[in-house]
Structures are given as structure tokens and as C-alpha cells.
Amino acid sequence: MERNELNKRLFELARRYADELKRILGENLVSVILFGSVARGEADRQSDIDIFIVLEKAPKGMLKRRKLLEPARQNLTKELEKLWQEDIFTDFVEIIRTKDEALRFHPVYLDMIENGIVLYDRGEFMSEVLKKVAIQLKKLGAKKVKVGKVWHWDLKPDYRIGEVIKI
């Protein structure tokens, strides 16, 4: 299977996951953003489907939060299993935050401001958060730099020792 077709299939699965989350979580769901290789159109047979999820309310603890998502995941098990039968070893990898937590910078925002795909965003909550991060990066003069095959961010090219960088 060519990369373009694989990306389309994984993107469609991510979109369906977002729809299931909306159906199951209702008003507790604020935002669902696809990021990573699928969002960039660079997925391969080993790629995860990276999803950033914002909730109004969430219990403390990663496992308790993941349990909230389990019904949505269960509804897509057949599709995930079918992909595995085709040697496409994908699964969802979620970062789950409350609205208050999402207001604090997370390093994955650097990827999301350039390549994130909004699958759901009530009130444009995460779109606004990412817009503010992009503005702050611009103020800092941040640049995305490629070294070999790897990209990284130079957050403040004119950084001086002891200077505090706030995003």
C-alpha cells in the first residue's frame, strides 16, 4: 500500500475516533487534535495515531482518564484489528488534558501549530491556545531547523545564558 493511501486510511480512522469521542463524552469533550506523522502525511505501517484530547473535567491520573476513552476505542476495535491483519501496526496514542491543563504549554504544541489537524474544537478552544503559542514563538524569533533528517526548534536564536524563555 502506498503512503498516500495509508495516510488517508489512518486519517479517516482518527476522524471516526473523534466522532465516537463526541458521541460518548458529549459536552465533556472540548477538543480533539490530530498531530504527528499521520497529520503530516508521513505515516508508515508502524505509525501511531497521535491525538491530543481536551476535556472539561477529567479525573486525576492517566489510567482513569484513559478509561473515559475506552468505549470509543472499543467501537473501533474491528477496524484496528483489520489494519493489524494487513501488517499495519497502528493504535491510538492520546494525550488527555483538562481545559486548565491545556492552557499550560506542552512541547507537542510545537508540532501542532504547524501540522495539527483539528478534528473537533468546541468554541475554537485549542485553536486559540495554539494561536497564542505561535504568536509567542514569533516574538521569540523561534525557528524550526533541520539537522540531517531530523527537525528541531531553536526557540530563541539570540538566547543569552541565564535568560528565561517563556512560551
pTM above 0.85, yes or no: yes
Q: What residue ranges define each of the domains in the chain, with the CATH number in brackets?
A: 3-124 (3.30.460.10)
For residue 142, the model assigns a pLDDT of 82
The C-alpha atoms of residue 115 and residue 134 are separated, in whole angstroms, by 12
Using alpha carbons, select from 139, 65, 133, 135 the residue that is nearest to residue 104.
Answer: 133
For residue 148, the model assigns a pLDDT of 80
| Pairing of the two strands 49-55 and 92-98 | parallel
Low-confidence ranges of the chain (pLDDT < 70): 1, 156
Using alpha carbons, select from 66, 84, 86 the residue that is nearest to residue 74.
Answer: 66
Query: How many residues belong to the chain?
Result: 167
Q: Is 86 exposed, middle or buried (CB count within 10 Å of its CB: 0-12, 13-18, 19+)?
A: exposed
Instruction: Check if the beta carbon of residue 104 is closer than 8 Å to that of residue 132.
Output: no
